[in-house]
Amino acid sequence: MAKFAHFADCHLGGWREPDLQGLNFQSFQKAVEICIKERVDFILISGDLFDSAYPPIEILKETFAEFKKIKDVGIPVFLIAGSHDFSASGKTFLDVLEKAGFCKNIENFQIQENGKIKLIPTIFKDIAFFGYSGKKSSMEIEDLKKVYFDSVYPFSIFLLHTTIKDVVGNIPMDSIEKDKLPLADYYAFGHIHQVFEKQEGNSCFVYPGPIFPNNFQELVDLESGSFELIETNGGRLKVQNIKLKIKEVVYLEVFLENALSATEKIIQEIDKKNLKDKIFLLKLKGTIIKGKTGDINFEEIESFVKKKGAHAFLRNISSLKNLESEIVLEENLDNIEKIEEKVFGEFAEKNPADFNKFLPQLVHAFSLEKNEDEKSAIFESRLLSDLKKILNLEFV
């Protein structure tokens, strides 16, 4: 019998707003605290521990401190990279965590002559762990159709950062059928930010949800983060989703037509709410007939929200239109990856070429940022290394 935890999509360092970035990390800390209290045998992290391959130094320092707590009580951590903390060069700060002895990246495979991908297990207490990292723009899906295990084990866990068809349903999104994956007892998924638990035969397919919501709409839909706590007893699995309630969320929608009186109307609606120490989400909807969006005094609104004692405040005006231009103001682009996939797809359709398959990873590589105090030569070398890996080229 074993007890283990399953995290995914922590996205540490992802929020730009300091208050929400802090809550994101507090949610991760709470998950770690529960795992230590429950004395789990091990922790799984199925991708996107960090929001990028090179997170800010303060996030790294805080994360290392949490991993030290885990190590000090003797709980091993097994993980893979996700589409955010994945790097085409294969080098990320997950490597630094591993070298410090805080975790084990279990992705290990061999590409066979016939193109098949043999996954090599990490064995711990008679449990076989297999892993395959997520990539930008769902590029891991074609690879996953080729992966296989070379042996059958008493209990096997497969960590993946990808999308399965059962989760997306009829949504036109790249995904893989469950039956295309090699047989495992527990499939520890990441990437889709929702809770999904399904048992079929002796197999269990689980998305634990993000450790903390990652954008405005996720805060509305999920309100809090979560992770899974699993107990094995012979061939049976007991799966429990643990909610990580950090702060209460208050959501308010206000329908507008007159921008000239909108500020007063919004403040009146806000005044009806108890915002003390809560996350306040304001969504403005409708079509402006009088005035324009610029007539809404957002500074006054924000000041009033602060007086009401809100811990954090986000507004969304993506559904607010101007009658004259009928332009939708998209202040929040909630899923950049979906937008990228659409743009690349349209370009490839108009400009068919084998080279198109490299575009998503190339765009990601060129978005690489220079680290603080990093010398230009080192940064350039790191960028060239990524490009070399993507294009499989030898540079002089």
* Tens digit of each residue's pLDDT (9 = 90 or more) over 9-22: 999 999 999 999 99
How high is the pLDDT of residue 369? 60
How high is the pLDDT of residue 328? 44
Of the residues 213, 229, 244, the one at which a domain ends: 244
Reference 206, options 223, 228, 183; nearest CA is 228
Q: Is the pLDDT reported for residue 342 higher than 70? A: no
Q: Is the pLDDT reported for residue 323 higher than 60? A: yes
Q: Is the pLDDT reported for residue 327 higher than 50? A: no
Same-domain status, 358 and 316: no
Same-domain status, 348 and 265: no
How high is the pLDDT of residue 173? 82
How high is the pLDDT of residue 360? 73
Does residue 43 contact residue 70 with C-beta atoms inside 8 Å? yes
In angstroms, the CA 284 to CA 131 distance is: 43
Q: How many CA atoms lie within 13 A of 2 on its CB side?
A: 17
SS3 91: coil
Of the residues 244, 264, 295, the one at which a domain ends: 244
Same-domain status, 237 and 262: no
Supply the DSSP symbol for 177. Answer: -
Give how many domains the chain has, as a whole number: 3
Triad 16, 214, 326: Cα angle to 5°:
85
Instruction: Give tens-digit pLDDT for 265-299.
Output: 999 999 999 999 999 999 999 999 999 999 999 99
How high is the pLDDT of residue 204? 96
Does residue 28 contact residue 12 with C-beta atoms inside 8 Å? yes
Summarize the confidence of residues 345-368 as an average pLDDT.
69
For residue 67, give the CATH number of its domain.
3.60.21.10
Q: Is residue 328 part of a domain?
A: no
Instruction: Give tens-digit pLDDT for 105-138.
Output: 999 999 999 999 999 999 999 999 999 999 988 8
Q: Is the pLDDT reported for residue 330 higher than 50? A: no
Instruction: Give tens-digit pLDDT for 230-251.
Output: 999 876 899 999 999 999 999 9
Triad 5, 70, 247: Cα angle to 5°:
65
Whole-number mean pLDDT of the chain? 89
Q: Is residue 330 part of a domain?
A: no
Same-domain status, 161 and 55: yes
Reference 358, options 317, 321, 391, 322; nearest CA is 391
SS3 147: strand
Q: Give the DSSP letter string of 187-233.
A: EEEESS-SEEEEEETTEEEEEE--SS--SHHHHHHHSSEEEEEEEEE
Q: Is the pLDDT reported for residue 335 higher than 80? A: no
Q: How far is CA 26 from the centre of its chain?
A: 16
In angstroms, the CA 391 to CA 336 distance is: 24
Q: Are strands 42-46 and 2-7 parallel, antiparallel or unpaired?
A: parallel
Q: Is the pLDDT reported for residue 325 higher than 70? A: no
In angstroms, the CA 209 to CA 15 distance is: 17
Rounded to the nearest 10°, the torsion over CA 31, 34, 38, 44 is 10
How high is the pLDDT of residue 392? 67
Same-domain status, 221 and 284: no
**147-149: strand order across its sheet:** 109-111, 117-119, 147-149
pLDDT band for position 331 (cuts 50, 70, 90): very low
Same-domain status, 230 and 262: no
Same-domain status, 154 and 280: no
In angstroms, the CA 243 to CA 227 distance is: 7
For 126, counting Cβ atoms within 10 Å of its Cβ (0-12 exposed, 13-18 middle, 19+ buried), the class is exposed
Same-domain status, 169 and 299: no
How high is the pLDDT of residue 89? 72
Q: What tokens were used for 131?
A: 């892993």
User: Which residues 6+ apart lie within 8 Å of 165 measured at CB?
Assistant: 175, 176, 177, 178
How high is the pLDDT of residue 84? 92
Reference 94, options 159, 139, 144, 156; nearest CA is 159
How high is the pLDDT of residue 15? 95
Question: For residues 336 and 194, which has the higher predicted lDDT (pLDDT)?
Answer: 194
Q: Is residue 357 part of a domain?
A: yes
Q: Is residue 30 part of a domain?
A: yes
Summarize the confidence of residues 299-313 as an average pLDDT.
98
Q: Is the pLDDT reported for residue 306 higher than 90? A: yes
56-60, 163-167, 337-341: lowest mean pLDDT where? 337-341
* Domain membership of residue 206 as a residue range: 2-244
Does residue 226 contact residue 212 with C-beta atoms inside 8 Å? no
Helices and strands in the chain, H and E counts: 11, 18
Question: For residues 269 and 324, which has the higher predicted lDDT (pLDDT)?
Answer: 269
| Helix segments in 73-152, DSSP class H | 93-99, 140-144
Report percent pLDDT > 70 for the chain. 84
Same-domain status, 178 and 308: no
Same-domain status, 59 and 91: yes
Q: Is the pLDDT reported for residue 394 higher than 60? A: no
Summarize the confidence of residues 141-151 as an average pLDDT.
94
Same-domain status, 66 and 203: yes
How high is the pLDDT of residue 393? 61
Summarize the confidence of residues 94-103 as an average pLDDT.
95
In angstroms, the CA 309 to CA 275 distance is: 6
Beta-bridge partner residues of 315: 282
Of the residues 297, 322, 347, the one at which a domain ends: 322
Same-domain status, 218 and 258: no
Instruction: Give tens-digit pLDDT for 26-41.
Output: 999 999 999 999 999 9
